[in-house]
Structure 1
Amino acid sequence: MSRDEIIDITNKFLVEEFEVDTEVVQAEANLKDSLDLDSLDYVDLVVIIESNFGIKLESKDFTDVNTFNDLYDLIGSKLHAIA
């Protein structure tokens, strides 16, 4: 799966699930602040990512995830690990 496909799929479910405008989802924007995430929202985010991409995530995977770009990179690396 290409990075563009990962970004498209991710942005679609972020906008839908977290009810934000598409303009909020910017590559360098802070993920937590932009989506107003709390700890329960992170659980929802993990479940949504796992179901959309067929990958398994752990809490430690999010240690270095600050921006949307970081999230796309995380998903891409997990997808490449199972390919």
Structure 2
Amino acid sequence: MSNQEQILQQLRTWMNELFEIDEEKIQLETHLYNDLDIDSIDAVDLIVKIRELTGQQIQAEHFKSVRTVADVIEVVEKLQQRQA
């Protein structure tokens, strides 16, 4: 998984599986908390999935600044760059 579209598709799959969110609602500009009702517990579940994907440890406090799906993709891209 190397580009934004692939990461976005993976996020859509995870969010559908974990939170039963319709994949069509998950767009780059979608706000996690306001639009998708993702709470802090849900965010931890998402962090675990990202850790599985990247093999990188994510600190929960670093994820606090994440607001949109695009922000999540940016975090994943940075972790993948560190891994390479």
TM-score normalised by length of structure 2: 0.84
- Aligned: 1:76 with 2:77: yes
Contact 1:61 1:74 survives alignment (8 Å)? no
Moved over 6 A (4+): none
Q: Could you say what secondary structure the match of 2:34 adopts?
A: helix
Give the letter aligned to residue 19 of structure 1: E
Match in the other structure for 1:39? 40
Give the letter aligned to residue 35 of structure 1: L
Moved more, 11-20 or 49-58: 49-58
Count of aligned pairs between the two proteins: 83
Identity %: 30
Q: Could you say what secondary structure the match of 2:67 adopts?
A: coil
- Whose helix fraction is larger, Structure 1's or Structure 2's? 1
